[in-house]
Amino acid sequence: MKNDFLETAKKQFDYYKLLGEKTFDQLNEEQLFYTYNEDSNSIGIIVKHLHGNMLSRWTDLLTTDGEKESRNRDGEFENDIKTKKELLERWNAGWQCLFDTLNALKEEDLTKTIYIRNQGCSVMDAIMRQLAHYPYHVGQIVFVGKMLTNNNWKSLSIPKNASKEYNADKFSKPKHDAHFTDEYLKKKD
């Protein structure tokens, strides 16, 4: 049986990337840099942090520590992104680094030991670690976006009070094998 872990992981990452982008599309530039208070992060800061983490973790994954000496994690939480264009450039650069690395991996790489801050883990564990970390932050992005758009928010999943219709449509079709992200990612294209 072929292990489809890498393909599934890529679909999951792509899905969360899409959720972030669908949130950005609903916000104006000012909203992307809004902070609730001094201790909260704007969407821009969250994107900057994700960018820094992705470049650090995924560059030379198999040969260098995942916490690169060049990374300035504390600086990731300083708001110096000024435009939506710059925010999107960092967003896309981080994700590109992740996908380039995942696309280069082979199944036998999944059990190799890599290090993050000198702590060893398998490549599969490192992928799972980021499949928890990145959706956590994308959830923050979506939450802030939803708060800022108030009643103008366009749902990214099943809208409130629409579950019955959604399920009726799903159960009206024959059983089939598909990854849950397929329908969302298909709409993206």
Instruction: Indicate the burial class of 140 (C-beta count within 10 angstroms; 0-12, 13-18, 19 or more).
Output: middle
Predicted confidence (pLDDT) per residue in 37-75, tens digit: 999 999 999 999 999 999 999 999 999 999 999 999 999
CB count within 10 Å of CB 117 equals 7
Specify the higher pLDDT residue, 182 or 97.
Answer: 97
Report how far residue 86's alpha carbon sits from residue 120's, in angstroms, rounded to the nearest whole number. Answer: 34
DSSP bridge pairs for 120: 115
> What was the pLDDT predicted at 178?
83
Indicate whether 1 pLDDT > 90.
Answer: no
Predicted confidence (pLDDT) per residue in 121-169, tens digit: 999 999 999 999 999 999 999 999 999 999 999 999 988 899 999 899 8
0.95 cut: is pTM over it? no
Report how far residue 100's alpha carbon sits from residue 97's, in angstroms, rounded to the nearest whole number. Answer: 5
Indicate whether 105 pLDDT > 80.
Answer: yes
Report how far residue 92's alpha carbon sits from residue 75's, in angstroms, rounded to the nearest whole number. Answer: 19
> What was the pLDDT predicted at 189?
58
> What was the pLDDT predicted at 56?
98
All domains of the chain, ordered by start, with CATH?
5-188 (1.20.120.450)
Report how far residue 120's alpha carbon sits from residue 139's, in angstroms, rounded to the nearest whole number. Answer: 28
Closest CA to 140 of 48, 6, 9: 48
Q: Average pLDDT, whole number, for the chain?
A: 94
Most distant CA atoms of the chain, gap in Å = 54
> What was the pLDDT predicted at 188?
64
Residue pointed to by tokens 């690395």: 101
Cβ neighbours of residue 20 closer than 8 Å, sequence gap 6 or more: 47, 91, 138, 141, 142
Mean pLDDT of 22-36: 97
Mean pLDDT of 26-36: 97
* pLDDT range class, residue 3, cuts 50, 70, 90: low
Cβ neighbours of residue 63 closer than 8 Å, sequence gap 6 or more: none
